[in-house]
């Protein structure tokens, strides 16, 4: 349960409770200002991220596969690298579209995400399905530890938990998920 406490402590440190993005005080709140400051600092103090990207190249089987660094895009709260799964020898026939590594700059957590094509569009998955994927996550975990020694992988089952009294633009009524708040918040 201490992970949930750590996540809650982080969320409420950087996101105002019960304030919509449309509320006058949101962008003046101390939580918002602190979050902005952390994102801005990480943008400029990024030696660990530069090292991580160099190291991940070393474990790629196909370095010609597309990869994209979306760090801080739209004010995101993480370093964010998306890579074609073929770069790691993962079977593309399984409809896997992208493998993403996200390292939060407002918490001591990191996460991975597999995006897969479904009949309804894209579906996010935060777990591994086989030994090949498990080996990839273990390798990435080792790289994260080298470059961000204080970070731990966000445990399974936490990603999609909803924080009901914190709001994001696209989740006004249902709140926001832990994953969105720690890694992909675009409302900065």
75-115 pLDDT per residue, tens = 789 999 999 888 888 866 567 778 999 999 999 999 999 98
Let me know: does 154 contact 111? Beta carbons within 8 Å.
Answer: yes
Instruction: Work out the average pLDDT over 9-17.
Output: 93
Alpha-carbon dihedral sign for residues 34, 99, 161, 48: negative
For residue 78, the surrounding DSSP H or E stretch is strand 78-83
24-54 pLDDT per residue, tens = 888 899 999 999 999 999 989 999 999 999 9
CA 182/CA 43 separation, integer angstroms: 16
111-144 pLDDT per residue, tens = 999 988 888 888 889 999 889 899 999 999 999 9
What distances in angstroms separate CA 137 from CA 125, 182, 186, one per listed residue? 13, 19, 25
Let me know: does 184 contact 77? Beta carbons within 8 Å.
Answer: yes
Q: What is the pLDDT of residue 75?
A: 73
Those residues with Cβ within 8 angstroms of residue 66's Cβ, 6 or more apart along the chain or in another chain? 83, 84
Burial class (CB in 10 A: 0-12, 13-18, 19+), 44: exposed
Let me know: does 116 contact 122? Beta carbons within 8 Å.
Answer: yes
Q: What is the pLDDT of residue 93?
A: 56
Confidence grade of residue 188 (pLDDT, cut at 50, 70, 90): very low
Domain map (residue ranges) of the chain: 2-184
Residue with tokens 């918040």: 185
CA 48/CA 5 separation, integer angstroms: 26
Q: Does the pTM of the predicted model rise above 0.85? A: yes
């Amino acid at each position: 349960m201490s992970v949930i406490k750590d996540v809650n402590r982080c969320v409420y440190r950087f996101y105002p409770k019960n304030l919509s993005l449309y509320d006058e005080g949101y962008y003046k709140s101390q939580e918002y200002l602190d979050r902005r400051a952390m994102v801005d600092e990480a943008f400029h103090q990024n030696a660990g991220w530069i090292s991580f990207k160099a190291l991940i190249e070393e474990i790629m089987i196909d370095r010609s596969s597309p990869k994209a660094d979306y760090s801080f895009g739209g004010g995101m709260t993480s370093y964010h690298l998306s890579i074609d799964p073929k770069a790691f020898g993962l079977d593309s026939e399984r409809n896997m579209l992208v493998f993403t590594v996200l390292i939060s700059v407002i918490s001591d957590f990191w996460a991975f995400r597999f995006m897969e094509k479904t009949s309804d569009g894209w579906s996010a998955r935060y777990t591994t399905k086989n030994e090949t994927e498990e080996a990839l996550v273990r390798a990435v975990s080792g790289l994260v530890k080298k470059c961000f020694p204080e970070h731990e992988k966000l445990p399974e089952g936490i990603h999609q938990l909803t924080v009901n009294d914190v709001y994001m633009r696209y989740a006004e009524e249902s709140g926001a998920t832990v994953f969105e708040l720690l890694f992909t918040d675009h409302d900065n």
